[in-house]
Amino acid sequence: MEKIYVSSRQNRIVSLAAGLSDKKNRDREGLFLIDGVKLLREASASRLRVEFVMCIERALDKFELTISSADAPVYVLADHAFERVTDERAPEGVVAAVRCSDEVRRPFSDGDDAFCGVRLVLDGIQNPDNLGAILRSALAFGQRNVIIGAGSADIYGRRVMRSSMGAALKVGALYAADTAAACRAVSARGGRVIAATVDSGARPINEFEFADGDAVVIGSEGRGVSDAVADAADASVFIPMEPEMESLNASCAAAVILWEIYRRGLAGK
């Protein structure tokens, strides 16, 4: 394990890592950050390329086996330098820079083999914590790939990575520039697009007959499913609940719907 000790906050690696909080820098460098030893283990297990690891000395002493298994240079940062590369209040003391991969995120294409197994479309999920939680539920309920539409948070963002508990490294994100067009592609392959809404014409999810090839759309936190996507939908469903509640948080709604699909044996591939 190659160890490089760094004391300056202005060190080249520290500055590079600090800049990766900005999406445009992530896109330019082709790198994203993950926090903590759990995500580092997940990245290594997923055979993603860890470019370098940054840690404080006491974390190196505690997690040396995991850090060394990443097979990457290790920068041991002074505490004041490490503060520049973490945004957590109580950081574990380990941050890694990982190479972006098509296995994690790639542009949507209806010619992509992964598209055939998609059962979930996300329409403008802007909150990174919600997106991460949805990906966690997707992995739990057998979804290996998800279409993520325009206006959604970046899967490479640190909050998405943390809230997904590593699921963001395992569920393929197919990013669609035109969410409605991606929905029409679902219909063209023979499936139906099912919008999760609270509209009067929606059917209770427990009474709806899902079929193999169907894909459910979860809309944004504020406005729900967009008009263009609603127009592309073949049907709509809602989650029955107590009358004093109108709707669920997007990530909670996704979990309920994904479980419903999962229990019927219609999970993606």
Q: pLDDT (tens digit, 9 = 90+) per residue, 198-246?
A: 777 889 998 999 888 899 999 987 788 899 999 999 999 998 888 887 7
Spatial CA neighbour of 33 closest among 17, 46, 13, 47: 17
**Cα separation values, 185 from 73, 143, 174, Å:** 43, 18, 13
Average pLDDT over the chain reads: 92
What angle is formed at CA 212 by the lines to CA 209 and CA 216, rounded to 5 degrees? 70
Residue 15's pLDDT band (cuts 50, 70, 90): very high
Q: Tell me the β-bridge partners of 172.
A: 145
| Tokens representing residue 193 in the block | 């697009």
Q: What is the pLDDT of residue 220?
A: 85
Its pTM stands at 0.92
193 secondary structure, DSSP code: E
Residue-wise pLDDT tens digits, 65-115: 899 989 999 999 999 999 999 988 878 999 999 999 999 999 999 889 888
Phi and psi at 46, nearest 5°, equal: -85, 5
**Cα separation values, 48 from 29, 101, 104, Å:** 16, 7, 9
Q: What is the pLDDT of residue 268?
A: 59
Question: What number is the average pLDDT over the span 138-157?
Answer: 94
Residue 269's pLDDT band (cuts 50, 70, 90): low
Q: What is the pLDDT of residue 173?
A: 95
Residue 22 pLDDT greater than 90, yes or no: yes
User: Going from the N-terminus, what domains does the chain have, and what CATH number goes with each?
Assistant: 3-99 (3.30.1330.30), 105-263 (3.40.1280.10)
Residue 7 pLDDT greater than 70, yes or no: yes
Q: Which residues of 95-129 are buried (b: 16+ CB within 10 A; e: fewer)?
A: bbbbebbeebbbebeeeeebbebbbbbbbbbebbe
Share above pLDDT 90 across residues of the chain, in percent, rounded to a whole number: 74
224 secondary structure, DSSP code: B
Give the count of beta carbons closer than 10 Å to the beta carbon of residue 251.
21
CA torsion angle 21 26 31 34 (round to 10): 30
Q: What is the pLDDT of residue 105?
A: 96
Question: What residues contact residue 32 under an 8 Å CB cut-off, 6+ apart?
Answer: 20, 26, 97, 98, 100, 156, 157, 158, 161
**Cα separation values, 21 from 53, 88, 92, 211, 252, Å:** 16, 13, 18, 41, 27
